[in-house]
């Protein structure tokens, strides 16, 4: 490709609406352009990288035995009504009607469509296992599309679905996908971790998320300093270490706390540690008020509470409900005298003489004690892990917390969709059995964005060779000089013939601006052809990562480029 004829609209300034570095760099390097919130055009450079990630995904999916199909984006409402998700999915599901008033949605995921294929075609256990995948555009009307391709509304996903005779066979399919995912993200050059994840509303029994470690990540992940336990914060177990305060219970005291509503304000006002206050949060679980208690320095984990209460919906109670339940304005709720179900975190069980809200305006209670002053219906793990917590799995480690970007998700679905949609097969005895499923997603654009979060410097992107839009750029410093252009053309032809994807910068631009663009778009290898070195038969070879520059005879520079590319692609 000749740069002069190629479409790479680079931009010097950082676009105002881009918050994270990958979004800024993808816009600046001319990879993508915004069409509407969360909806993007992929320009030539961006699409080349997207296609490379897709290719790696296809190779590894095919290697694992999965087969590529392509399902439509439009999905008839009937399929979603059968699975029950038409009502449940909420506003992320973009619904529309055709000219005959028939209802459809744009697929945000394709469990229903693929289960429909299988229930129509699979009759016998002999046809299983099957794993079908597609690389396709999804639509989710995200409430806050942001960070460019990281959280779009229209985005490319690889989604795979496995079908097995029973749970044990489904576990094997799951492990194959787990291993394929490891290879995919390794080949894309990502620094990632597979972490245990909550199975949440999709149901199912087990799930892992593949997290790219990056400070800009929207997810918190927890890992052990000693063993390989790692989990999403939503799922991470807090180890129950029973710390019991053996202090004698002191008499209950009422203390005035005018306008002191949150833990920080109350503890500062009463000169007490936040860990000596008990936080009281009123929730509505399927419309029933529930009080959740936590040590003041801990945060509630809503996913854990929701799973514990087995409710369909869980939300912090609106102010009016809090006032009705506690008889006090928001900020003064507490467990003493309250007539609702009380759930407390395990850590609360060991506390003595603590502070709680007094269920009256501007009132807190001091020296409150469990048993004497109120009782709890259920103790459970309902808090977020904090750094330094003991590991729930081993005895040596402490928990560390990282930020991560979820690029992939593998999920054991069990029979959730096959049961509601009646996807069955006949076993060897001729008996009808329900198929066991798994589903497996990778965000293609999000993986590219995550890769840039991990691979950039002040000058721009530093693509790993396997997903770089081009492997090598040849900067011809004075393209009007025939000997320079001649040598550059020759290198370009030879490298291209050798399978090295090469961009020839033949533009009539100053060297400085050529170098700036090459750095910005992140091409891993650069050959600089200029008349000063060419008279001695040399060119410069520069590595984008690390910035190492070597002066080499033309043939050696080409050999090194070829070898570097071959080695990187062989991994
Ligand atoms: P998130 O919690 O980030 O919204 P999710 O749990 O809804 O993700 P899945 O339903 O598991 O995501 O989708 C599979 C993969 O698709 C995710 O791992 C992610 O890489 C990608 N993905 C999901 N939502 C988006 C989005 N809005 N934009 C880009 N990629 C996405
Ligand atoms: Mg989502």
SS (H, E, C) 81-134: HHHCHHHHCHHHCCEEECCCCCEEEECCCCHHHHHHHHHHHCCEHHHCCEEEEE
Please, what is the angle between helix 482-497 and helix 554-570, to 10°? 30
**Is the CB of 304 inside a 6 Å radius of any atom of ligand 1?**
no
Residue 364, pLDDT score: 97
Stretch (H or E) spanning 445: helix 444-454
Cis peptide before 129 (omega within 30 of 0): yes
Verify whether ligand 1 is closer than 6 Å to residue 151 (CB atom).
yes
Q: Which ligand is located closest to the Cα atom of residue 137?
A: 1
Question: Which atom of ligand 1 is nearest the CA belonging to 405?
Answer: 3
For ligand 1, atom 22, which residue shows the shortest CA distance? 443
Q: 205 alpha carbon to ligand 2 midpoint, in Å?
A: 19
Q: Does residue 461 have its Cβ closer than 6 Å to ligand 1?
A: no
Nearest residue by C-alpha to atom 25 in ligand 1:
151
Using the mean position of ligand 2's atoms as its centre, give its distance from the Cα of residue 65 in Å.
27
If phi > 0 it is left, if psi is from -120 to 50 it is alpha, else beta; for residue 36 that is beta
Closest CA to 306 of 359, 356, 380, 255: 380
Burial of 183 (0-12, 13-18, 19+ CB in 10 A): middle
The closest residue, in CA terms, to atom 21 on ligand 1 is 443
Look-up of token digits 């396709």 = 136
pLDDT at 202: 57
Token pair recorded at residue 271: 């000169």
Contacts of 494 (CB under 8 A, 6+ apart): 558
Ligand 1 atom showing the smallest separation from residue 140 Cα: 27
Could you tell me if the CB of 208 is within 6 A of ligand 1? no
Kindly give the distance from the C-alpha atom of residue 90 to the centroid of ligand 2, in angstroms, as a whole number.
Answer: 12
What is the mean pLDDT of each successive set of 10 residues along the chain, which is 571 residues long?
A: 96 90 98 97 98 98 98 97 93 97 98 98 98 98 96 98 98 97 97 90 78 94 93 91 84 96 95 96 96 97 94 94 95 96 96 96 96 96 95 92 97 95 98 98 98 98 98 96 96 98 97 97 98 96 97 98 97 77
Name the DSSP class of 543. Answer: E
Instruction: Ligand 1, residue 153: give the atom nearest the CA.
Output: 27
How many CB atoms lie under 10 A from the CB of residue 570?
Answer: 7
- 329 Cα to the center of ligand 2, angstroms: 34
In ligand 1, which atom is closest to the CA atom of 218? 3
The sign one gets for the Cα dihedral 487, 489, 495, 497 is: negative
Could you give the CA distance from residue 278 to residue 261 in angstroms, rounded to a whole number? 13
- Only one residue has tokens 């631009």, namely 509
Residues 6 or more apart in contact with residue 279 via CB below 8 angstroms = 263, 293, 294, 295, 296, 298, 300
At 201 the pLDDT is: 58
**CB-ligand 1 contact for 176 (6 Å cutoff):** no
Query: What angle is formed at CA 162 by the lines to CA 61 and CA 189, rounded to 5 degrees?
Result: 30
Query: What is the token pair recorded at 389?
Result: 């917590």
Q: Tokens in use for 531? A: 């008349």
- Tell me, using a 6 A CB cutoff, whether residue 155 lines ligand 1: yes
Query: 364 CA to middle of ligand 1, Å?
Result: 43
Ligand in nearest proximity to the CA of 111: 1
The residues near 7 (Cβ < 8 Å, ≥ 6 apart) are 30, 43, 44
Which atom in ligand 1 lies closest to the alpha carbon of residue 407? 20
Side-chain-side CA neighbours of residue 23 (13 Å): 20
What is 344-367 written as a DSSP string? EEGGGGG--SEEEE-SSTTEEEEE
Cα 530 to ligand 2 centroid, rounded to whole Å: 50
Ligand 2 center to residue 416 CA distance, Å?
19
Ligand 1 binding pocket includes 110 (Cβ within 6 Å): no
Q: Which ligand is nearest to the CA of 138?
A: 1
The best mutation among 23, 439, 443, 444 to test binding of ligand 1, ranked by most ligand atoms within 8 Å of the C-beta, falls on 443
Start-to-end CA distance of the chain, whole Å, equals 26
d(CA 142, CA 91): 8
CA gap 72, 207 in Å, rounded = 26
CA 303 to chain centre: 17
How many CB atoms within 10 Å of residue 136? 17
Whether the CB-CB separation of 421 and 142 falls below 8 Å is answered with no
For residue 406 and ligand 1, the question of a CB distance below 6 A is answered with yes
Q: To test the ligand 1 pocket, which listed residue (409, 411, 453) has its Cβ within 8 A of the most ligand atoms?
A: 409
- Ligand in nearest proximity to the CA of 219: 1
407 close to ligand 1 (CB < 6 Angstrom): yes
């Amino acid at each position: 490709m000749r740069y002069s004829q190629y479409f790479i609209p680079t931009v010097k300034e950082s676009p105002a609406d881009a918050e994270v570095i990958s979004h800024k760099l993808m816009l600046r390097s001319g990879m993508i352009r915004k069409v509407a919130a969360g909806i993007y055009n992929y320009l030539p450079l961006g699409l080349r990288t997207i296609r490379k990630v897709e290719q790696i995904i296809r190779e590894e999916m095919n290697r694992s035995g999965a087969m590529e199909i392509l399902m439509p984006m439009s999905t008839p409402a009937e399929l979603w009504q059968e699975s029950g998700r038409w009502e449940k999915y909420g506003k992320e599901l973009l619904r529309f009607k055709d000219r005959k008033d028939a209802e459809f949605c744009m697929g945000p995921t394709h469990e229903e469509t693929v289960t429909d294929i299988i229930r129509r075609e699979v009759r016998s256990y002999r046809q299983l296992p099957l794993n079908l995948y597609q690389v396709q555009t999804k639509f989710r009307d995200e409430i806050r599309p942001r960070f460019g391709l990281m959280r779009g509304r229209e985005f490319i996903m690889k989604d795979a679905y496995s079908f097995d005779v029973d749970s044990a066979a489904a576990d094997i399919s799951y492990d194959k996908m787990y291993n394929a995912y490891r290879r995919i993200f390794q080949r894309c050059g990502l620094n990632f971790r597979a972490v245990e994840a909550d199975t949440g509303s999709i149901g199912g029994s087990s799930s892992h998320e593949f997290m790219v470690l990056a400070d800009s990540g929207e997810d918190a992940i927890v890992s052990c300093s000693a063993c390989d336990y790692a989990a999403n914060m939503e799922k991470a177990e807090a180890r129950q270490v029973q710390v019991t305060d053996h202090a004698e219970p002191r008499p209950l005291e009422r203390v005035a706390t005018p306008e002191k509503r949150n833990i920080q304000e109350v503890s500062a006002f009463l000169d007490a540690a936040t860990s000596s206050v008990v936080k009281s949060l009123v929730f509505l679980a399927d419309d029933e008020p529930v009080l959740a208690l936590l040590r003041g320095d801990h945060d509630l984990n809503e996913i854990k509470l929701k799973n514990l209460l087995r409710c369909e919906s869980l939300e912090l109670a609106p102010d009016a409900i809090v006032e009705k339940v506690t008889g006090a304005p928001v900020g003064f709720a507490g467990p003493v005298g309250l007539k609702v179900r009380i759930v407390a975190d395990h850590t609360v069980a060991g506390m003595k003489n603590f502070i709680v809200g007094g269920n009256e305006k501007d009132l807190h209670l001091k020296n409150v004690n469990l048993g004497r002053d109120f009782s709890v219906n259920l103790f459970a793990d309902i808090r977020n892990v904090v750094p330094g917590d003991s590991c729930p799995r081993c005895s040596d480690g402490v928990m560390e917390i990282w930020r991560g970007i979820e690029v992939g998700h593998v999920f054991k679905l069990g029979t959730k969709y096959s049961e509601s949609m009646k996807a069955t097969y006949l076993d060897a005895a001729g008996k009808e059995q329900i198929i066991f499923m798994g589903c497996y997603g990778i965000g293609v654009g999000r993986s590219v964005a995550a890769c840039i979060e991990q691979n950039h410097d002040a000058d721009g992107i530093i693509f790993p060779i396997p997903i770089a839009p081009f492997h090598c750029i040849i900067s011809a410093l004075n393209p009007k000089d025939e000997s320079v252009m001649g040598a550059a053309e020759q290198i370009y032809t030879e490298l291209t013939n050798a399978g090295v994807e090469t961009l020839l910068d033949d533009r009539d631009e100053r060297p400085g601006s050529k170098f700036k663009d090459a750095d910005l778009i992140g091409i891993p290898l650069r050959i600089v052809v200029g008349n000063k070195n060419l008279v001695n038969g040399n060119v410069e070879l520069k590595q984008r990562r690390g910035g190492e520059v070597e002066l080499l005879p033309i043939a050696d520079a080409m050999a090194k480029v070829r070898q570097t590319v071959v080695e990187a692609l062989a991994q």
